[in-house]
Structure 1
Amino acid sequence: MAETTVAEVLAELAGLDDPKARAVNEKHGDDHAVNLSKLRALAKRLKTQQELASGLWATGDSAARLLAILVCRPKAFGRDELDTMLREARTPKVHDWLVSYVVKKNPHCEELRQAWFADPDPVVASAGWALTTERVAKKPEGLDLSGLLDVIEAEMEDAPDRLQWAMNHCLAQIGIEHPAHRARALAIGERLEVLKDYPTSPGCTSPYAPIWINEMVRRQAG
């Protein structure tokens, strides 16, 4: 489908509107009503179209923005452009996909990680923490893991939900990937009890850091 227009895609997205999907998504703070499997199928058909992606993003519609993320060229965005996009991305799914599918593949990723990490906006800061967690797991050289644990210990308990979740993930990742810091990570998790009572589906690992760390370490050893 060459030279697809934004209007054509918006019409197709409207046709995929599913009230049941909207009800489920709203429980998670999202405001779109498109089944994500159908959205991915549409993206696969459209293939990469950077100009279309920019137009879809500019609509402000969450489903259009999710599609924009799937059809864009992640390396084509400038640093300031991504910073603006992240600050506009207020719903969890758009925020998470933007960080995971675009920012992580962009050459400005590390610069943005550092800029966002201590941002006064907790949603923006959560993106900085998510990128830091990625480095904890894949490229920890140069990170101050003890310093990260200091911040988590001091700030995670009272952090807003999205930021708390991102900090907790970082805490778990440090404990899982870095044996020298594992005992302290476990102790912080046990003392703060963040997400200790989070409802967990059967077969899923609890996000409570001590359980999460011990389970992943057990699997790695096995």
Structure 2
Amino acid sequence: MTVAEVMVELAALEDPKVRAVNQQHGDDHGVNLSELRAVAKRLKTQHELARQLWATGDGAARLLAILICRPKAFEPVELDAMLRAARTPKELDWLVNYVVKKHLHAEDLRLTWVDDPDPMVAAAGWMLTTDRVRKQPEGLDLAKLLDVIEAEMKDAPGRLQWAMNESLGHIGIEHPQYRARAIDIGERLQVLADYPTSRGCTSPFAPSWITEMVRRRQTV
């Protein structure tokens, strides 16, 4: 399919109700994600088409591009440009989780992004940092990460604050030697302490989250 043909198909899937819900979360497309994934499954991997779809700037087209691209085929400088062009939380999350984390230069990009003055870019760096805290902590200075979180998370913009809080939570969950300090930082900063949480779900407030996840692991 050509880009024009894909865009016609995406336009046909547009649902005003889906768009209205997505806009409440900062996203700018009106295509049901299950239907979008069905389109991706049919198209299969088409890296050049993915590049062209991303270049349209359309929200649904960009998410589709992420689903049909070949992550390791991007150059690091290309991923950096794509991240800086991402406009919505969903674009940021999918680009980092589905593409950057699979790239051979993910660690180089993490180091480039984590201290970037653009909070959306820095959020991506912290998302990659959380992934390392969970899966490959060797070589990370966890005490230094806690120092940065303690000093900067309270006043960080929303998406960056959320990403830093995820790192704080996973340091406390995965690394017992830092658990007490992670909980103490969360208690003092009170970040996300009032976040609305549905019945049966775990609060993202770090002290509650850490305590509950540790309890679950101990009862397995």
Instruction: Provide TM-score, normalisation by structure 2.
Output: 0.99
1:110 aligns with one of 96, 107, 111: 107
Q: What's the counterpart of residue 118 of structure 2?
A: 121
The count of aligned residue pairs is: 219
Instruction: Report the equivalent of 2:185.
Output: 188
**Which residue in the other structure is 2:138 paired with?**
141
Gap regions ≥5 residues in structure 1:
none
* 2: CA distance, partners of 1:106 / 1:77: 8
Q: CA shift at 1:203, angstroms?
A: 1.7
Give me the whole-angstrom Cα distance separating, in 2, the residues matched to 1:126 and 1:211.
22
Question: What does residue 40 of structure 2 align with?
Answer: 43
Work out whether 1:8 is the aligned partner of 2:9.
no
Secondary structure in 2 matching 1:143:
coil
1:83-102 equivalent positions in 2, closer than 5 A? 83-102=80-99
Q: Counterparts of 1:130 and 1:93 in 2: how far apart (Å)?
A: 13
Question: Which amino acid counterpart does residue 73 of structure 2 have in structure 1?
Answer: A
CA RMSD of aligned residues (A): 0.5
Q: Deviations over 1:125-156 (max 9, x none)?
A: 00000000000000000000000000000000
Counterpart Cα distance in 1 of 2:196 and 2:117: 29
Q: Deviations over 1:151-179 (max 9, x none)?
A: 00000000000100000000000000000
How many Å apart are 1:108 and its aligned residue?
1.1
Question: What is the DSSP-based 3-state SS (H/G/I as helix, E as strand, rest coil) of the residue aligned with 2:154?
Answer: coil
2-side partners of 1:64 and 1:219: how far apart? 39
**Correspondence for 1:157 among 154, 157, 165:** 154
Instruction: Give the deviation of 1:90 after TM superposition.
Output: 1.7
| Alpha-carbon offset, residue 37 of structure 1 | 0.5
Q: Any idea what the Cα deviations from partners look like across 1:14-67, whole Å, max 9, x if unmatched?
A: 010011111110010001000001000110000000011011001000100000
- Does residue 130 of structure 1 match 2:163? no
Post-superposition shift, 1:201?
1.4
Report the Cα offset of residue 87 of structure 1. Answer: 0.1
Any stretches of 5+ residues in structure 2 without a counterpart? Answer: none
Q: Distance in 2 between matches of 1:7 and 1:219?
A: 50
- 1:6 and 1:157 mapped to 2: Cα distance? 43
Q: Provide the rounded CA distance (Å) in 2 between the counterparts of 1:201 and 1:59.
A: 37
Question: Within 1, Cα distance between the matches of 2:201 and 2:26?
Answer: 21
Give structure 1 regions of 4+ aligned residues with deviation exceeding 4 angstroms: none
Measured after TM superposition, the shift of residue 202 of structure 1 is 1.7
Which letter does structure 2 place at the counterpart of 1:41? Answer: A
* Matching residue within 18, 22, 26 for 1:25: 22
Q: Distance in 2 between matches of 1:49 and 1:174?
A: 37
What is the letter of the counterpart of residue 18 of structure 1?
A: D
Normalised by the length of structure 1, the TM-score is 0.98
Q: Please state how far the C-alpha of 1:69 moved relative to its aligned partner.
A: 0.1
Residue 205 (structure 1) aligned with residue 202 (structure 2): yes
Distance in 1, matches of 2:33 and 2:212, equals: 29
Q: Measure, in 2, the Cα distance between the counterparts of 1:98 and 1:73.
A: 12
Partner in structure 2 of residue 219 of structure 1? 216
Does residue 82 (structure 1) correspond to residue 79 (structure 2)? The answer is yes
